[in-house]
Each structure stands twice: as structure tokens, then as C-alpha cells.
């Protein structure tokens, strides 16, 4: 018998038919003797609708009341799934965030979980065999008011609950059947990964492969929760229950490195289109200039990602390029203009026609030459690299957005990721 947390996102509980389908997945696990806590999101689109209502009521509003409103979508789906399970003869009850309880800090709208005293829920799961249907996304703050965990937060609810009850696995059901080596929409030869390490998943997630909320992966890594990303759209009765998989686990397991048997040098290629490039041409090349550029950006809470600085032939001036989120570009340009008197003379350019392509893999730690091969392959295709940044397990390059597909495809086959 396994103790499981199953999480279903908005598209998986979009209407009563989909909720019945979810109940079938739960039934399969229960009938195999597994104890299940099920975490649900609101019906697809519901949270957006609720957020819009709060804004319409008053553009500036009390964050505590925002949470009271937007958390309600999960109350509905947890109750509906409990009713559906009961009607199938499966003992179940709903648990709202405050009932579990998910204790959080007081940062309404983006609260962090501080503690989950889950003894009661665990006992009921194990002793009574009662399915716990838990409203995701919700918590209770120090002031006893309802909090929410930030958009996409029910992934984090599920992982945190799995850690608190000591679950064997946290199955995240979504509308894709796992994590792919890259976006299958641009590379049809992309493959589903059997397993990926937490660290790689974090890079994939923050690089634009939007499968799991980043915070949930960080939490899974810290608490050692094994997470299986899988599809709720596969027919529930065609899949093996946990413990009966015998080799064929349907989905991608996000786990510690030690559990990954066949480690590739590169596990995946990610790309992010929401990068924008800012260039300062001809700034003075002397101590303190970088601080005068990046200080004001930090103060304005603008995250800078890649940074490149060139030397110009006269040795006295330099060109400085950095990237920010596209949504921050206008603000970043204003901040730099505002600091002009401190920075000195320069020409300022901004562009959104760039994309960041990243090659990710923990195997890079022990293999030299990954970057060199990457640069050569791109050069052979005539793709110019405008900026580079690296970490221990990732190499990112900035290129003209027009070459996104060509670059991703080229790198995908270069590192042997293409499906046969």
C-alpha cells in the first residue's frame, strides 16, 4: 500500500464530466489499496474570473478580501469531488485550507506555508480509509484570515501536504503526460522524460517550460518529495495503480539525482520568449559604472538576467547589454534614463526581438565541451549569439527571436535528444 497525494489542476476539474473522470483516477488507486489525499484547483478559468471581479469591485482593494474571494473556486471543486466520490461508494470528505490546516505567513495573495499539522488528516487517511479531498491554493494566516499561495499555488499545496503526511509520492495530474525534452510544438521529435532531477526541473520551469509552479519544485527538492507529472486525460482504467506499475510509470518522475539511472549529459532544451534586451552603447569604461547602472534597476525591483560587457577599440568606452523580462522593459529604460547624469554619456537601445535558449543537464558537471559544441552548431547554422550566461547545469544564449525554432531543433538533435 502506498500513501499518495494526487493533485488535479483546473483543466482536469473544468466541469462535472471532468470531475467524474478525476474520481475514476482516484477510484483506481483506492481499489488497489492505496490511501489518497486529493488536492484540487478551481475549475479552469474560475480564478481568473474571481480576480477580475475583485478588480471590478475596486481597483485598489483589501488583500484579505481578495483572498476570501479568489480562494472560493477551490472550495467548490473540493466539495464537488467529495460528493462524486461518495456517490460512487468511496468514503471521502472535503478539507478546506483552514481545516487541514495549511498555516501560512500573512502575505495575502502570495502567502508562504509555514506549517501543516497534518496528524488528523493522516490518521483518517490511514485508519479510516477515507479519501481527503483538499482545496488547494488556500491557507490560514497568523490573523486567522484566509490566505492564498499565489497563482498556480495548488501545486505547492500538494507538495507541502505530501511532505507533511509523509506520502510516498505526489502525483500531479495535468493536461500533458509529463515533462518533455523540449516543447513538442516546435520539435515534433521531442521525447517525454522518464525522470528528471529537481535541479533540472527548476531550470526547465523557470526557463518557460510551464508545467509546475517553480515554488512547488523548490519545496519538493528541500523536502525530498517524489513528484510524478502525469496526464488526467488518459483513460483512468488503462493506467496501472501506484505499486502496480512494474517498470512503466506513466509520466515524468521529478526526483533526486541518485534515483536517475541513465543520466544524459543534456536532459532538455528550454526557451523563453519573454526576454528583452537593453544595450548601453559607449559608456565610460571605469570603476563604478556597472554599479550605477544595476543599482537603480535593483532598487526599482527589476530582475536582470544576462549581462554582457564589451571593450570598444579606444579602451575608454564599453557597450553594456543586459536582459530583463519583457514586461519590465519600459520601466528599465526609464530607470536607466533617470540615472543618466550618474552613468555619463551613452546611447540607449531596447529590443524585444530576442529569445533565450537554454541547454540544461546535470551531466554537464562532469562533461567538458558542452558549450563549445553548442556554439559551433549554432555558428554552422549562421545563428549569432548576442549574450551568454551559464550555471553549473545550464548554458543560456540570447539570439534573434526569428531563429528560435532553428536553434532549438539544432540543439535538440545535437545532444541526441530526438526520438527515433
Residues engaged in binding ligand ASP (CB under 6 A): 9-10, 41-42, 47, 73, 136-137, 151-155
Q: Given candidates 152, 153, 178, 251, which one binds Mg ion under the rule CB under 5 A? A: 152
Edge-to-edge strands, sheet with 138-140: 113-115, 103-104, 138-140, 146-148
Task: Name the residue nearer to ligand ASP (CB basis): 152 or 178.
Answer: 152
Least Cα distance to 359 among 344, 374, 369, 372 occurs for 374
Task: Name the residue nearer to ligand ASP (CB basis): 154 or 323.
Answer: 154
**Binding partner of residue 137 among ligand ASP, Mg ion, none, CB cut-off 5 to 8 Å per kind:** ligand ASP
Q: Which residue has the cell 529604460?
A: 333
Question: At a CB cut-off of 8 Å and minimum separation 6, what does 143 contact?
Answer: 64, 106
Query: What beta strand segments (E) does 232-299 contain?
Result: 252-255, 268-272, 275-284
Neighbours of 350 (CB within 10 A): 14
Q: How far apart are CA 305 and CA 323, in angstroms?
A: 5
**Binding partner of residue 319 among Mg ion, ligand ASP, none, CB cut-off 5 to 8 Å per kind:** none
Report, in Å, the least distance between residue 406 CB and ligand ASP: 34
> Helix axis angle, 198-206 relative to 214-223, nearest 10°?
170
**Binding partner of residue 47 among ligand ASP, Mg ion, none, CB cut-off 5 to 8 Å per kind:** ligand ASP
Choose the stretch contacting Mg ion; rule: CB under 5 A; options: 4-12, 14-22, 101-109, 194-202.
Answer: 4-12
Q: How far apart are CA 166 and CA 16, in angstroms?
A: 31
**Binding partner of residue 42 among Mg ion, ligand ASP, none, CB cut-off 5 to 8 Å per kind:** ligand ASP
Report, in Å, the least distance between residue 43 CB and ligand ASP: 9
Q: How far apart are CA 200 and CA 125, in angstroms?
A: 33
**Binding partner of residue 410 among ligand ASP, Mg ion, none, CB cut-off 5 to 8 Å per kind:** none
Neighbours of 81 (CB within 10 A): 25
DSSP string, 109-136: TS--EEE---HHHHHIIIII-PEEEEET
Report, in Å, the least distance between residue 219 CB and ligand ASP: 14
Report, in Å, the least distance between residue 122 CB and ligand ASP: 23
Task: Name the residue nearer to Mg ion (CB basis): 233 or 403.
Answer: 233
**By the rule CB under 5 A, 9 interacts with Mg ion:** yes
C-alpha cell at 14: 473544468
Task: Name the residue nearer to ligand ASP (CB basis): 13 or 329.
Answer: 13
Report, in Å, the least distance between residue 10 CB and ligand ASP: 5
Task: Name the residue nearer to Mg ion (CB basis): 272 or 306.
Answer: 272
Task: List the beta bridge partners of residue 351.
Answer: 277
Task: Name the residue nearer to Mg ion (CB basis): 218 or 305.
Answer: 218
Report, in Å, the least distance between residue 217 CB and Mg ion: 12
What's the gap between Cα 275 and its chain centre? Answer: 17
Report, in Å, the least distance between residue 171 CB and ligand ASP: 15
Sites of contact with Mg ion (CB under 5 A) = 9, 152
Amino acid at each position: 500500500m502506498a500513501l499518495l497525494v494526487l493533485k488535479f489542476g483546473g483543466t482536469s476539474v473544468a466541469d462535472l464530466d471532468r470531475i467524474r473522470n478525476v474520481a475514476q483516477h482516484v477510484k483506481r488507486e483506492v481499489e488497489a489499496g492505496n490511501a489518497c489525499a486529493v488536492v484540487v484547483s478551481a475549475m479552469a478559468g474560475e480564478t481568473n474570473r474571481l480576480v477580475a471581479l475583485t478588480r471590478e469591485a475596486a481597483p485598489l482593494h483589501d488583500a484579505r478580501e481578495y483572498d476570501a474571494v479568489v480562494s472560493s473556486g477551490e472550495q467548490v471543486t473540493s466539495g464537488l469531488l467529495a460528493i462524486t466520490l461518495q456517490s460512487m461508494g468511496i468514503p471521502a470528505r472535503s478539507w478546506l485550507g483552514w481545516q487541514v490546516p495549511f498555516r501560512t505567513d500573512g502575505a495575502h495573495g502570495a502567502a508562504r506555508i509555514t506549517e501543516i499539522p497534518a496528524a488528523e488528516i493522516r490518521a483518517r487517511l490511514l485508519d479510516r480509509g477515507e479519501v481527503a479531498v483538499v482545496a488547494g491554493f488556500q491557507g490560514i494566516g497568523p490573523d486567522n484570515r484566509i490566505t492564498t499561495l499565489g497563482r498556480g499555488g495548488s501545486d505547492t499545496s500538494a507538495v507541502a501536504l505530501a511532505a507533511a503526511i509523509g506520502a510516498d509520492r505526489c502525483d500531479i495530474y495535468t493536461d500533458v503526460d509529463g515533462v518533455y525534452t523540449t516543447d513538442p510544438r516546435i520539435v515534433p521529435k521531442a521525447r517525454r522524460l522518464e525522470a528528471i532531477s529537481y535541479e533540472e526541473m527548476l531550470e526547465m520551469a523557470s526557463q518557460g517550460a510551464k508545467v509546475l509552479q517553480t515554488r512547488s519544485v523548490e519545496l519538493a527538492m528541500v523536502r525530498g518529495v517524489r513528484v510524478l507529472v502525469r496526464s488526467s486525460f488518459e483513460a483512468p482504467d488503462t493506467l496501472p495503480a501506484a505499486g502496480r506499475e512494474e517498470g512503466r510509470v506513466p509520466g515524468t518522475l521529478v526526483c533526486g539525482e541518485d534515483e536517475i539511472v541513465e543520466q544524459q549529459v543534456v536532459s532538455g532544451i528550454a526557451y523563453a520568449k519573454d526576454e528583452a534586451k537593453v544595450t548601453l552603447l559607449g559608456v565610460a569604461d571605469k570603476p563604478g559604472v556597472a554599479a550605477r547602472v544595476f543599482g537603480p534597476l535593483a532598487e526599482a525591483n527589476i530582475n536582470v538576467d544576462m549581462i554582457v560587457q564589451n571593450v570598444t577599440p579606444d579602451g575608454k568606452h564599453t557597450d553594456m547589454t543586459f536582459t530583463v523580462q519583457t514586461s519590465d522593459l519600459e520601466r528599465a529604460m526609464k530607470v536607466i534614463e533617470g540615472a543618466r547624469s550618474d552613468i555619463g554619456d551613452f546611447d540607449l537601445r531596447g529590443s524585444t526581438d530576442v529569445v533565450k535558449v537554454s541547454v540544461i543537464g546535470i551531466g554537464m558537471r562532469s562533461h567538458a565541451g558542452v558549450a563549445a559544441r553548442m556554439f559551433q552548431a549554432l555558428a554552422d547554422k549562421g545563428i549569432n549569439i548576442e549574450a551568454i550566461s551559464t550555471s553549473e547545469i545550464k548554458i543560456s544564449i540570447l539570439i534573434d527571436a526569428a531563429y528560435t525554432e532553428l536553434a532549438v531543433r539544432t540543439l535538440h538533435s545535437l545532444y541526441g535528444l530526438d526520438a527515433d
